[in-house]
């Protein structure tokens, strides 16, 4: 796959189709492969050049191996007490990575779609680099407010459990996680999940990157007031049954961004199951088409 040099970081990415630029940003320690190949191909077929990429510290983009590795318990304790959290980099830095990728691609602006932590990065991009954002989709994400970001304990345990150490562990970990967070409206396809876990393991597993991503989220704080600056046409997509980023988080994002529209997907938890693709693809492509005229 091609790579983009963005400052000291190399970003690995993949492109699908031809058409209007559309950038997909994935979540915490989540490789671009979680934007499934078929999902990207179907979105591209609607008239978009779709690019997915690995964030820094994950997959085949640059791992910051020399950077400090945060300790989980102190991070959680300081966050719970409302104390500042230190981090090697912030979500703003990761948004700047995305801007560097746009520069590499020759895109002056693009439709931006971010999922989970990727939605947070996309929000920072829209706040800090508004001229680069044609339209914004924030999917299963949050404004960073403490109330709107509070997960159900079972979902947090699933996310923070021991990271896999081999391909078999990776299969078991991802299956447990998906079974915990996907939501009651969409059955878990165990074969699909296991296959994706193997592909992700082969693509590149970096446990310290997960901790640095987690620290970046906590260090970046609450964006609620800054989100009022966003002028890009915005769609907020959220599952009604998301245990990891509760629906309250999506409601807060939609309330903070002027003119944002909230679409709730019944029965969806935290993830992109294939059963939800028709709804997600219609929503994303429809919003991009409407946002084009407003840009």
Please give the full DSSP string across the chain, using - where no structure is assigned. Answer: --EEEETTEEEEEEEESSSEEEEEE--TT--GGGS-HHHHHHHHTTTEEEEEEPPTTSTTSPP-TTS----HHHHHHHHHTT-----SS-HHHHHHHHHHHHHHHT-S-EEEEEETHHHHHHHHHHHH-GGGEEEEEEES---S-TTTT---HHHHHHHHSPPPSSHHHHHHHHHHHHHHHS-TTS---HHHHHHHHHHHHHH---HHHHHHHHHHHHHH---HHHHTT--S-EEEEEETT-SSS-HHHHHHHHHHSTT-EEEEETT--SS--GGGHHHHHHHHHHHHHHHHHH-
Residue tagged active-site, from 61, 79, 96, 116: 116
* Six token digits for residue 21: 């630029």
Query: What percent of the chain has a predicted confidence (pLDDT) above 70?
Result: 98
Nearest by Cα to 13 from 66, 71, 54: 54
Residue 101 CA, chain-centre distance (Å), reads 16
> Active-site residue 111, yes or no?
no
Q: What are phi and psi of 244, to 5 degrees?
A: -95, -50
- pLDDT score recorded for residue 292: 63
86: left (phi over 0), alpha (psi -120 to 50) or beta: beta
Distances (CA, A) of 249 to 2, 13, 246: 35, 29, 6
Distance of alpha carbon 137 from the chain centroid? 11
pLDDT for position 295: 47
Contact 125, 112 (CB under 8 A): yes
Q: Given this model, what pLDDT does residue 148 score?
A: 72
Q: In what order do the strands lie in the sheet with 48-53?
A: 3-6, 9-16, 48-53, 20-25, 110-115, 133-139, 234-239, 261-265
Question: Among 111, 213, 238, 270, which one carries the catalytic annotation?
Answer: 270
User: Can 270 be counted among the known catalytic residues?
Assistant: yes
Catalytic residue among 54, 57, 97, 242: 242
Give the global pTM.
0.96
Residue spans of the domains in the chain: they are 3-152+207-294
Terminal-to-terminal C-alpha distance of the chain: 31
Whether 116 is catalytic: yes
Task: Give the CA distances from residue 274 to residues 158, 179, 214, in Å, rounded to whole numbers and listed in that order.
Answer: 21, 14, 27
Domain 3-152+207-294 superfamily per CATH: Alpha/Beta hydrolase fold, catalytic domain (3.40.50.1820)
Query: Which residues of the chain are under the pLDDT cut of 70?
Result: 291-295
Whole-number pLDDT of residue 152: 93
């Amino acid at each position: 796959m091609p790579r983009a040099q963005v400052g000291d970081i190399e970003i690995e990415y993949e492109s699908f189709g031809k058409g209007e630029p559309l950038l997909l940003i994935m979540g915490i320690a989540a490789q671009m492969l979680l934007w499934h190949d078929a999902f990207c191909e179907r979105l591209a077929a609607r008239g978009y050049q779709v690019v997915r990429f690995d964030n820094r510290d994950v997959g085949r983009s640059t791992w910051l191996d020399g950077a400090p590795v945060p300790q989980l318990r102190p991070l959680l304790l300081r966050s719970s007490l409302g104390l500042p959290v230190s981090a090697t980099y912030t979500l703003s830095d990761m948004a700047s990575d995305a801007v560097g990728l746009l520069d590499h691609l020759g895109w002056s602006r693009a439709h931006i779609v971010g999922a989970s932590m990727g939605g947070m990065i996309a929000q920072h991009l829209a706040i800090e680099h508004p001229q680069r954002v044609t339209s914004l989709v924030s999917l299963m994400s949050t404004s960073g407010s403490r109330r709107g970001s509070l997960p159900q304990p079972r979902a947090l345990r699933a996310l923070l459990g021991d990271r896999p150490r081999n391909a078999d562990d990776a299969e078991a970990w991802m299956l447990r996680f998906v079974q915990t967070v996907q939501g009651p409206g969409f059955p878990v396809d165990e074969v699909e999940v296991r296959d994706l876990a193997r592909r992700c393991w082969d693509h590149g597993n970096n446990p310290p990157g997960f901790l640095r991503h987690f620290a970046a989220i906590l260090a970046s704080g609450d964006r609620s007031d800054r989100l009022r600056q966003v002028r890009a046409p915005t769609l907020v997509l959220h599952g009604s049954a998301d245990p990891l980023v509760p629906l309250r988080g999506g409601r807060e994002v939609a309330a903070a961004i002027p003119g944002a529209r909230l679409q709730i997907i019944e029965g969806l938890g935290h993830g992109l199951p294939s059963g939800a693709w028709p709804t997600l693809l219609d929503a994303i492509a429809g919003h991009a088409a409407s946002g084009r005229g407003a840009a």
